[in-house]
Amino acid sequence: MYLCPYLFIESMSLKREIERRRTFGIISHPDAGKTTLTEKLLLFGGAIQEAGAVKSNKIKKGATSDFMEIERQRGISVATSVLAFEYEGIKINILDTPGHKDFAEDTFRTLTAVDSVIVVIDVAKGVEEQTEKLVEVCRMRNIPMIVFINKLDREGKDAFELLDEIEQKLNLRVTPLSFPIGMGYDFKGIYNIWEKNVNLFSGDSRKNIEETIEIADVNHPDLETIISEKAANILREELELVYEVYPDFNRDEYLEGTLQPVFFGSALNNFGVRELLDCFVEIAPKPRPKESDTRLVRPEEKEFSGFVFKIHANMDPKHRDRLAFVKVVSGTFERNTAYLHVRNNKKLKFSSPNAFFAEKKQIVDVSYPGDIVGLHDTGNFKIGDTLTEGEEMRYKGIPSFSPEHFKYINNADPMKSKQLEKGIDQLMDEGVAQLFTLELNGRKVIGTVGALQFEVIQYRLEHEYGALCTYENLNVHKACWVDPKNPKSEEFADFKRVKSKFLAKDKRGQLVFFADSAFTLQMTQSKYPNVHLHFVSEFEKHSTVK
């Protein structure tokens, strides 16, 4: 069969670009050192020139909105950041996610756009609640995970105790690829099992890479000269135990999500970060296939497809711009090319698609599978929207979760009604929270996963839209999406009549039931067995209320 040389070259170019891409998320409990690790990865990749850039928002100011003032005040991340850099010929896309539980929904959605994950754990605190929830989502989706145990320069738990905790609490099967030599005040460095060398810790370096000494054989007498006889003997005993107890690293098992390599280090001191990065670029998966509602889509396919996993209003408050973040799944996304917006069934063209290179956004002509593209949006996109070259399909797995907190939202300045309406509309599209309109009286209700979101909404409405709002408490235990087996049945008509005070519509017009307690939920489900209630807006089998 004759193949046009141009098409062959184009196909080889696409394959080569896919092979060299790594798109991953960093997840953890708050304060485990996620943002610091992100910064140091960028530092090693040459994307930033100084430490402290993430903390001072120097690298973020081009890729986040003015409400980052809240991040600075509280010292937490409240939105996912997208950062990209090149390292040894590999294009790395990092999605740094919020750790705070009140912003977990943003993190859950971000996990639909990554091909692998780095889990950061604090050496002193060990496995914490939020880490458990996020790792459970990764496990459900078989996302490959690498664990980074951070803050080794501080006093913390014993390495074996931590490894046991990770296995038991997170239900992971781990294999250490590096191991600490001492800890806290006695911390001397790390033995890199992956590369067979010793990395010495001086503790006073903020920018420079620590001294690395090749030690192929830990029984070599040179080890005692380097780290002391006592430390060398302890390390030999511990490594012997590691080799006996933990499985050998197997890349296939790691890629299947059944084996998790573990690294130790101190991100603040740049320590153990290079080892993590070097191993990551070697073993982490290239862009992976993704399931749509019609078929499995592979990155190597010629035709472009991608989906919106995040929307951010007012990236630059001066210009009131709004960006939709699109993960490229297959083919190549090209500037000024018309693509089908599947939900709206209309073609859209983008003249200035953005890529994120550390501290700045820049316009790109071509993006490949694994890349994250920022598209300027005038209100066309919602989270979960699919773009294709014409194929009618939708990517799955980007649901809205049932909120935990509910409040009526009221306009505090009648002269700014339009601004408030626009602000709420855009922030809800962004996925900051969910808006419900009561069927009975048309009152607006905001539902959030965490209480801190109300503060973020109020702050952003005032500072980005010039609108003021107040809240009133509303006693709701859970919001459940209503899915009747037969919408024309008498049972469903009775349900709507009896529960009319507690019914609302979400932003997409789907019917939602507000239950004031777990008991009410249980009684409603038993009285109306053919009216299914769901905890997520996409009606997946596992989401039905029990």
Cα-based angle 336, 342, 348 (whole degrees, multiple of 5):
20
Q: What is the pLDDT of residue 104?
A: 57
Domain count, the chain: 3
| CATH code of 315's domain | 2.40.30.10
- Please tell me what DSSP assigns to residue 395: B
Which stretches in the chain have pLDDT values below 50? 1-3, 5-8, 49-68, 75-79, 99, 102, 205-209, 358, 539-546
* Same structural domain, 331 and 422: no
pTM of the model: 0.77
Q: What is the pLDDT of residue 111?
A: 82
Q: What is the pLDDT of residue 429?
A: 78
Q: Bridge-partner residues for 482, per DSSP? A: 533
* Same structural domain, 382 and 464: no
Q: What is the pLDDT of residue 205?
A: 45
The span from the CA of 305 to the CA of 282, in Å, is 27
Q: What is the pLDDT of residue 176?
A: 95
Q: What is the pLDDT of residue 542?
A: 37
Instruction: Tell me which H or E stretch contains 434.
Output: strand 434-438
Q: What is the pLDDT of residue 220?
A: 77
* Same structural domain, 364 and 439: no
| Segments forming the whole domain that contains residue 489 | 405-543
Report in angstroms the alpha-carbon separations of 402 from 269, 353, 499: 40, 33, 18
Tokens of 190: 């790390």
Tokens of 368: 């490949």
Q: What is the pLDDT of residue 346?
A: 92
Q: What is the pLDDT of residue 69?
A: 53
| CATH code of 431's domain | 3.30.70.3280
Q: What is the pLDDT of residue 505?
A: 94
* Same structural domain, 108 and 26: yes
Residue showing tokens 């896309």: 93
Q: Which of 388, 423, 455 is the last residue of a domain?
A: 388
* Same structural domain, 463 and 351: no
Q: What is the pLDDT of residue 347?
A: 94
* Same structural domain, 234 and 307: no
* Same structural domain, 50 and 93: yes
Which tens digits make up the pLDDT trace of 39-49?
Answer: 888 887 766 54
The span from the CA of 262 to the CA of 145, in Å, is 9
* Same structural domain, 461 and 489: yes
